[in-house]
C-alpha cells in the first residue's frame, strides 16, 4: 500500500502549494497530541479514529489503513495495534518531509 498518495493530496487541495504546506504543518502540529492520546489508555481509539480521518484526507493511505486495523483490534491486541499505527505514522511523516522538501 502506498504511504503517500500525492495525486489524492493534489486533488483535495486543488494543487495549491500554499494550502498544501498549511495542511502538512497542521498535520505535523497535531501528531504530538495524537501520540499522547494513544499512550493515555482510555482515549486511544478516539485518537486513532481522528488520525485515520486526517490521514485519509491528505492521502496517507497506509497510515489510514493501520488506524482502521487498530480501531477494530480487540482490547487484548491494543498494544500491537498501536505499535503498527506508530510505525505507519513515522513512515507518513518521512513521506511528508520528502514531499515538502521537493515542493519547496
* 1, 30, 46, 90, 104 from 6: Cα distances, Å: 13, 20, 26, 17, 15
pLDDT of residue 1: 78
Domain range list for the chain: 6-103
Question: Residue 75: what pLDDT?
Answer: 80
Span 60-70, average pLDDT: 95
Taking residue 63's Cβ as centre, other Cβ atoms within 10 Å add up to: 28
Q: Which CATH superfamily is domain 6-103 in?
A: HPT domain (1.20.120.160)
Condensed to tens digits (0 to 9), the pLDDT of residues 5-62 reads 999 999 999 999 999 999 999 999 999 888 888 886 778 889 999 999 999 999 999 9
Q: How confident is the model at residue 103 (pLDDT cuts 50, 70, 90)?
A: confident
- Spatial neighbors of 90 by CB under 8 A, at least 6 apart, are none
Amino acid at each position: 500500500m502506498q504511504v503517500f498518495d500525492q495525486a489524492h493530496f493534489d486533488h483535495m487541495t486543488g494543487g495549491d502549494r500554499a494550502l498544501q504546506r498549511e495542511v502538512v504543518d497542521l498535520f505535523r502540529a497535531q501528531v504530538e497530541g495524537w501520540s499522547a492520546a494513544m499512550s493515555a489508555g482510555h482515549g486511544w481509539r478516539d485518537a486513532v479514529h481522528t488520525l485515520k480521518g486526517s490521514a485519509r484526507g491528505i492521502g496517507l493511505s497506509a497510515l489510514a489503513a493501520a488506524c482502521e486495523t487498530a480501531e477494530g483490534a480487540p482490547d487484548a491486541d491494543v498494544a500491537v495495534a498501536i505499535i503498527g499505527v506508530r510505525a505507519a505514522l513515522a513512515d507518513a511523516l518521512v513521506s511528508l518531509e520528502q514531499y515538502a522538501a521537493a515542493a519547496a
